[in-house]
Amino acid sequence: MATIFKKIQMFENITKLTSRQFLQFSVRNYRHRRALMYVPGSDERKINKIASLNADCVALDCEDGVALNKKDEARDIIRKKLEHIIPTANGDIGVRVNSIESGLCEKDLEVCLSGTHLPHTVLLPKVENSDHLKWFSDRINKFIKTDQKVNLIIYIESAKAFINLSDICKTAFTLSECNKFTPTSLVFGSDDFCASIGATRTEDSTEILYARQKLVLCAKAFHLQAIDMVYIKYKDLEGLKRQCEEGMRMGYTGKQVIHPNQIETVQESFLPALATVEWAKGLLDAFEEHQATGKGAFNYRGSMIDMPTMKQAKNIIDIVKPVKKKST
Amino acid sequence: MATIFKKIQMFENITKLTSRQFLQFSVRNYRHRRALMYVPGSDERKINKIASLNADCVALDCEDGVALNKKDEARDIIRKKLEHIIPTANGDIGVRVNSIESGLCEKDLEVCLSGTHLPHTVLLPKVENSDHLKWFSDRINKFIKTDQKVNLIIYIESAKAFINLSDICKTAFTLSECNKFTPTSLVFGSDDFCASIGATRTEDSTEILYARQKLVLCAKAFHLQAIDMVYIKYKDLEGLKRQCEEGMRMGYTGKQVIHPNQIETVQESFLPALATVEWAKGLLDAFEEHQATGKGAFNYRGSMIDMPTMKQAKNIIDIVKPVKKKST
Amino acid sequence: MATIFKKIQMFENITKLTSRQFLQFSVRNYRHRRALMYVPGSDERKINKIASLNADCVALDCEDGVALNKKDEARDIIRKKLEHIIPTANGDIGVRVNSIESGLCEKDLEVCLSGTHLPHTVLLPKVENSDHLKWFSDRINKFIKTDQKVNLIIYIESAKAFINLSDICKTAFTLSECNKFTPTSLVFGSDDFCASIGATRTEDSTEILYARQKLVLCAKAFHLQAIDMVYIKYKDLEGLKRQCEEGMRMGYTGKQVIHPNQIETVQESFLPALATVEWAKGLLDAFEEHQATGKGAFNYRGSMIDMPTMKQAKNIIDIVKPVKKKST
C-alpha cells in the first residue's frame, strides 16, 4: 500500500506535465484495463462482491467459468444483476459470452443484452476469422434495441486465429463503423492457445513467445489494448508480479485475473515503477530544455537520447495519467 | 529402458480413459512420427538395417545425404528396396526427393514411384511457394499409376518459405482434395534456414526462435504435425534430450534424426513424462467429477483449472494413445 | 587492434578459396555496411570528421538528430558538403531524410538531391505501407535530374510497418525496376518501435525478439541486408559487443551507430571470429575432399555435416571477402 501511496503522490506532480504541448496528443480511444477479472455468471454471491473488488474491468462469465448445465441460469442472473451494477459501476463491466462455434453465443447475447442497462463491453472468445466478426456484428445489431454501442474485446486463442490476426483486426474496424460495437482490446488466451498447438507452459513462457509478442504488435498496429495471459497459480503473488512485468515490457497494458487476490498485484504492476516515472519525467524536462537550444540528439544520464526514447517516456506518462484522473 | 517399461505400464491404465465421452474426438489425420530418421538411398548396407532401427519413420534419402555423382544409383536402390521394405514395415517409410529447384526431383519421383509398392510418404525439401506444390501435384499424379495416395511431408527451410508459409499450407490442402497426395507434416529445416538468413546456431537456438515457433503455429492451424530440427552433435544424447523437450514444449511432436543412436532418445523424449501423464489423467478424472456438480472453474493441485487446461491434458493423453496401440 | 590484424592476415589465406567452384555464386547485390553511423546534418564540425571515422556507411541526418528549428540549415549544409565528400568517399555516404508523414521529407529530398553529386544512398525513416514507397518513388524521379539511381535503406519502426513488412519489400522491388532507386537494406528502428507498441527495452531485448527476428527473415527473403538496432549506452563497449554478436547470430550483418567510439567495436564484431572463419575454411576444405569420394553426409569435428551446414560456412566466407578487398 505504501508503494501505491507513493505512486499516487507522484502523479500529483505529473499533472503539471499536462500543459506541455508535446503531451497534447489525442488520448487513445481505449479504456485502460489493467486487471480483467472473471466472475462466474452463475454465482450470485461472487457477483454481489464486484463493487468491493475495485478491479478496472470485470467480466461476468457465461463461458469457461460456467458449467454446461448452468448456462441458462448464468444468463438470467447476469441480466438481472446488470440492472444494479451498471448504474453505479466504477470500472468497466463486461459479459463474456460463449464462443460462436459453441452454439451458445446467440442465446447469451439475446438474454444479456435484453435488460434496461447494457454491459459496457462484450468479450467474445475464440474468434478465429473475419466471418466470426460478421456473425457477431449481425447479432449485436439485432439484440441492441437502442443506438448505444458496446465495446468489443476479442479473444485470440488458437493457431488459426493467429494466422488470421491482421484480417480479424481489420474486419473489426471496418464493421464497427456502421454497427453497434467498438473494438477496444485483444486478449491473449494462452491456455486455449497452448491446447490448440499442443504446447506446454513453463514459468517463463518462452515456448509461446512468438504468439505472445505477435499479439501485442498486431493490437498496437490497430490501436487496440493488448491484455496478457492468465497466471493460474493464484497463490503465488511473486510469480504473478514477475509475469505482469514481463508482459508490460512487451507492451501489454493489462492482464486477465482469475482470483480476487490477484487484482491488487496486477493493477499495481501495470503502473510504471516510481523510478521509471521519475526517469520519464526528467527526460521530458531535459528534452524540452534541450530542444530549445537547437541541438537534436542529446545525452541524458549517460545515454544518447533522441525522439524515439522521448516517445517512450511519453508513453509512460500516458499510462499514469488516467490513473491520476481516477484518484481525484 | 526401465523408464520406457514404466511408461508402457502406464498406458495400460490409460486405455481405461477411452470410454469417456470427452476423449471421443476424432483422431487427427496424421501419423505420429516421433523420430524421422534419414538413411542415404545410396547405402544398401544401412537400408538393410532399417527394420532393426525401430524408428517411427524412416526417409530413404535422395537429397543431402547422397553425393551428386550417386543420385542415379540411389534412386535404383530405393526402388528395389521398397519392394521388400513396404510389405513388412512397422513404421512409416518415405522417400526424400531432391528439391524442385535442383532439377533432380522429377527423375527421383519417376524412379522411386515406379515399383509395385509405393513409399507411404514423399518428403519434399525446400518448398518455397505454392507453385512448387502445383508442380509436385502434377508430377505425383503422372507417376502414380493407381488410385493410391502418398503422404506429403513439406520442408520449410528458407526465409522465402516462411514468408509464404500460410499460402503453402492452404495450397497443399486445396490441391490434395483431388490429387494423389495428403499433406501430413511440416519439417523445420533449421540448418538450411540458418544458411538462408545467415544465422549462426547456438545450443539454445534463441536466434531462430521466431521461425521455429512460427512453423509450429502454422502447422497446427492446418492440422499438420510439426517436426523439429536436427541436433547435429549426434554423440551428445543429453543435449539431444534437452532440445527434444524444448521442441515438445513449443508443440513439436517429432524430430529429425541423423544417426541411429539418436532414435531411442528422441522417441522416449516425445512421450510425455510419467508425471505429466499422471497429472493429465488425474485432471481429467477430477474435471469429470467436478463437471457433474455444476461448477465451472475449479482448483486442482493449487491451480485454477478451466476448459483450456483440460484440453491440454487431453492432448497429452492423445500422444500416448497411439503408442499404446503399437505396443499391444 | 591485434585481433583485427590477425583477422586481416587470415583473409590473406582465405583469398585462396576464391578459385573454388562452390564459391563462384554471384555476390549479393547489397553493399556490406557493418556500421551505419549518424552525423547530424546541422553540425559542420562533425561532418568534416567523416573521413577520419572510417565507417562503412555514414548517414548525414535530417531527421531525429536535427532539431525542428535547424532543418533548413541542415539541408543546406548537407548539399554543400556532399560536393566534397562524395568524390573522395571510402564508404557509403547517405542522407537520412525526415519521414513522409512529418511533412518535411519532400523539401529534404529536393535540397539534398539538387547538387552535382548525389549521395550514394537515401535512408527513409518510418515507412509504414506501400503507399509511402509510391510517394517516395514519385519524388525521387522528380528530384534526380540524371539517369543515376540511389540506394534506398528502409526503416521499419512501428507496429503498422511490421504488419505490412512483406508488402513493403515487394513494392520496393517492383517500383525499383523502372524508377531511380534500388532497395538495399532494412533497418530495425527499435526505439521508435518500442515507443509504438509501448514496450520497455531491457539489456537482452527479449521483449522485442519477435520483431527483431521477423525483420531479418523478411529482409533475407527479399535479398536485403538487415541492419540491427542502436545500442544507446555509448560508453559501454562490452555491452555493445555483446549486442552486436547477438544480432549477428540472428542474421544481421550491420548495426546503427550513434557515437564514433562505437564504430570500431561494431565493425570488428561484424567480422566473423577467427575461430569461426577457420572452422568454415576447414569445413569447406573437408567437404570438397569428401564430395569427391561420393559419400553425402559426413562427420567434421564430431558433428554430422551436410549441404546446409556447408552453406553456412560459405556465408561466413562471403562476409570476410569484401573486407579483404578493402584491405588490399
pLDDT tens readout for residues B227-255 = 999 999 999 999 999 999 999 999 999 99
- What is residue C285's predicted lDDT score, i.e. its pLDDT? 86
Reported as half-sphere exposure (CB side, CA atoms, 13 A), residue A57 has a value of: 31
For residues B214 and B166, give the distance between their C-alpha atoms in angstroms, rounded to a whole number.
Answer: 10
The separation between CA B269 and the C-alpha centre of its own chain, rounded to angstroms, equals 14
Tally of structural domains, chain C: 2
Same domain, B287 and B165: no
- Who wins on pLDDT, B284 or C1? B284
Helix (H) or strand (E) holding C244: helix C237-250
Q: Model confidence at B98, in pLDDT bands (50, 70, 90)?
A: very high
Same domain, A15 and A146: no
- Compare CB distances from B195 to C302, C303, C312 and report the shortest one's residue: C312
Q: What is the pLDDT along chain A (328 residues), one digit of tens a residue?
A: 333 334 433 333 332 222 222 222 222 233 568 999 999 999 999 999 999 999 999 999 999 999 989 999 999 999 999 999 999 988 899 999 999 999 999 999 999 999 999 999 999 999 999 999 999 999 999 999 999 999 999 999 999 999 999 999 999 999 999 999 999 999 999 999 998 898 988 999 999 999 999 999 999 999 899 999 999 999 999 999 999 999 999 999 999 999 999 999 999 999 877 777 888 888 888 888 877 776 666 778 767 776 767 777 887 777 676 554 443 3
Residues on chain B touching C210 (C-beta within 8 angstroms): 210
In a domain, B181, yes or no: yes
Residue of C nearest to B196 (CA): C220
- Who wins on pLDDT, C55 or A311? C55
In a domain, C30, yes or no: no
| Burial class, A119, CB count within 10 angstroms (exposed 0-12 / middle 13-18 / buried 19+) | buried
Q: Tell whether the model's pLDDT for residue B7 goes beyond 70.
A: no
CB–CB of C220 and B196 under 8 A?
yes
| A84 Cβ neighbours under 8 A, 6+ residues apart | none
Phi, psi of B257 (to 5 degrees): -130, 135
Collapse the DSSP code of C63 into the 3-class scheme (helix H, G, I; strand E, B; otherwise coil) and give the result: coil
B94, B57 Cβ separation under 8 angstroms: yes
The single-letter code of the amino acid at B5 is: F
Residues on chain B touching C248 (C-beta within 8 angstroms): 200
> What sign for the dihedral angle of Cα A248, A252, A258, A262?
positive
Q: Tell whether the model's pLDDT for residue C303 goes beyond 80.
A: no
pLDDT tens digits for range B277-307: 888 888 888 888 877 776 666 778 767 776 7
A223, C196 Cβ separation under 8 angstroms: no
In CATH, what number is assigned to the domain containing residue B82?
A: 3.20.20.60
For residues B102 and B125, give the distance between their C-alpha atoms in angstroms, rounded to a whole number.
Answer: 10
How many angstroms separate the Cα of A197 from the Cα of each of A148, B154, C132, C214? 38, 18, 37, 21
A250, A223 Cβ separation under 8 angstroms: no
Bridge partners, A300 (sequence order): A303
Q: Tell whether the model's pLDDT for residue C16 goes beyond 80.
A: no
For residues A164 and C45, give the distance between their C-alpha atoms in angstroms, rounded to a whole number.
Answer: 52
CB–CB of A251 and C157 under 8 A?
no
- Residue B74: which of B84, B89, B59 has the closest Cα? B59
Which residue numbers of A have CB closer than 8 Å to C's CBs?
166, 209-210, 213-214, 216-221, 246, 248-251, 253, 276, 291, 293-297, 302-309, 311-312, 314-315, 319
- What is residue B35's predicted lDDT score, i.e. its pLDDT? 96
* Contacts by residues C49-55 (CB-CB < 8 Å, ≥ 24 positions apart): C49/C260, C50/C85, C50/C93, C51/C85, C51/C88, C51/C89, C51/C90, C53/C260, C53/C263, C54/C90, C54/C91, C54/C263, C54/C267, C55/C91, C55/C257, C55/C263, C55/C267
Residues on chain C touching B159 (C-beta within 8 angstroms): 217-221
Give the whole-number percent of chain B exceeding pLDDT 90. Answer: 68
Same domain, B304 and B261: no
For residues C288 and C22, give the distance between their C-alpha atoms in angstroms, rounded to a whole number.
Answer: 9
Residue of A nearest to B247 (CA): A207
Binding annotation of A: 96, 157, 192
In a domain, C108, yes or no: yes
Residues of C tagged active-site: 306
Give the whole-number percent of chain C exceeding pLDDT 90. Answer: 68
Q: How confident is the model over B48-67, as a mean pLDDT?
A: 94
The single-letter code of the amino acid at C179 is: N
Question: What are the grid coordinates assigned to B141, written together?
Answer: 499424379
Same domain, B151 and B165: yes
Domain boundary, last residue among A225, A245, A270: A270
Same domain, B118 and B248: yes
Same domain, B129 and B159: yes
Task: Lowest mean pLDDT of B166-180, B195-209, C226-240, name the range.
Answer: B195-209
CB–CB of B209 and C213 under 8 A?
yes
Q: Tell whether the model's pLDDT for residue B18 goes beyond 60.
A: no
Place of cell 510425455: B272
Q: Model confidence at B19, in pLDDT bands (50, 70, 90)?
A: very low
Cα torsion at A306, A310, A311, A314 (round to 10°)? 180
Q: Tell whether the model's pLDDT for residue C14 goes beyond 60.
A: no
Domain boundary, last residue among A253, A270, A287: A270
Q: Tell whether the model's pLDDT for residue B28 goes beyond 70.
A: no
Same domain, A166 and A188: yes
The alpha carbon of residue C308 is apart from the nearest alpha carbon of chain B, in Å, by 4
- Compare CB distances from B234 to C249, C304, C306 and report the shortest one's residue: C304
Same domain, C202 and C64: yes
- What is residue A293's predicted lDDT score, i.e. its pLDDT? 76
Same domain, C230 and C243: yes
- Compare CB distances from C200 to A249, A305, A307 and report the shortest one's residue: A249
pLDDT tens digits for range C264-300: 999 999 987 777 788 888 888 888 887 777 666 677 8
Q: How confident is the model over B131-153, as a mean pLDDT?
A: 97
How confident is the prediction for chain C on average, in pLDDT? 85
For residues A80 and C309, give the distance between their C-alpha atoms in angstroms, rounded to a whole number.
Answer: 66
Same domain, B115 and B53: yes
Q: Model confidence at B319, in pLDDT bands (50, 70, 90)?
A: low
Q: Angle at the Cα of B149 (from B147 to B139), degrees rounded to 5?
A: 90
In a domain, C195, yes or no: yes
- Compare CB distances from A296 to C67, C193, C208 and report the shortest one's residue: C67
Bridge partners, A151 (sequence order): A121, A182
Domain boundary, last residue among B220, B248, B270: B270
Same domain, B51 and B159: yes
| Partners of chain A (3+ Cβ pairs below 8 A) | B, C
Range of the domain at C177: 35-270
- Residue C215: which of B168, B199, A215 has the closest Cα? B199
CB–CB of A209 and C210 under 8 A?
yes
Residue of C nearest to B189 (CA): C308
The two beta strands, A303-305 and A298-300, are antiparallel
For residues C112 and C78, give the distance between their C-alpha atoms in angstroms, rounded to a whole number.
Answer: 6
- What is residue A297's predicted lDDT score, i.e. its pLDDT? 66
In a domain, B30, yes or no: no
- What is residue B297's predicted lDDT score, i.e. its pLDDT? 66
B157, B125 Cβ separation under 8 angstroms: yes
Same domain, C113 and C235: yes
Collapse the DSSP code of A186 into the 3-class scheme (helix H, G, I; strand E, B; otherwise coil) and give the result: strand
B247, B213 Cβ separation under 8 angstroms: no
Secondary structure of C190-239 as H, E, C letters: HHHHHHHHCCCCCCCCHHHHHHHHHHHHHHHHCCCEEEECCCCCCCCHHH
CB–CB of B67 and C213 under 8 A?
no
- What is residue B5's predicted lDDT score, i.e. its pLDDT? 35
B86, B118 Cβ separation under 8 angstroms: yes
CB–CB of B297 and A65 under 8 A?
yes
Residues on chain B touching A168 (C-beta within 8 angstroms): none
The single-letter code of the amino acid at A233 is: K
- Residue C40: which of A294, A43, A158, B129 has the closest Cα? A294
| Burial class, B125, CB count within 10 angstroms (exposed 0-12 / middle 13-18 / buried 19+) | buried
Question: What are the grid coordinates assigned to A299, written together?
Answer: 545525452
Secondary structure of chain B as H, E, C letters: CHHHHHHHHHHHHHHHHHHCHHHCCCCCCCCCCCEEEEEECCCHHHHHCHHHHCCCEEEEECCCCECHHHHHHHHHHHHHHHHHHHHHCCCEEEEECCCHHHCCHHHHHHHHCCCCCCCCEEEECCCCCHHHHHHHHHHHHHHCCCCCCEEEEEEECCHHHHHCHHHHHHHHHHHHCCCCEEEEEEEECHHHHHHHHCCCCCCCCHHHHHHHHHHHHHHHHCCCEEEECCCCCCCCHHHHHHHHHHHHHHCCCEEEECCHHHHHHHHHHCCCCHHHHHHHHHHHHHHHHHHHHCECCEEECCEEECHHHHHHHHHHHHHHHHHHHHHC
Binding annotation of B for substrate: 96, 157
Binding annotation of C for substrate: 96, 157
Q: Angle at the Cα of C2 (from C1 to C7), degrees rounded to 5?
A: 95
What is the C-alpha R_g of chain C?
Answer: 21
For residues B23 and B281, give the distance between their C-alpha atoms in angstroms, rounded to a whole number.
Answer: 12
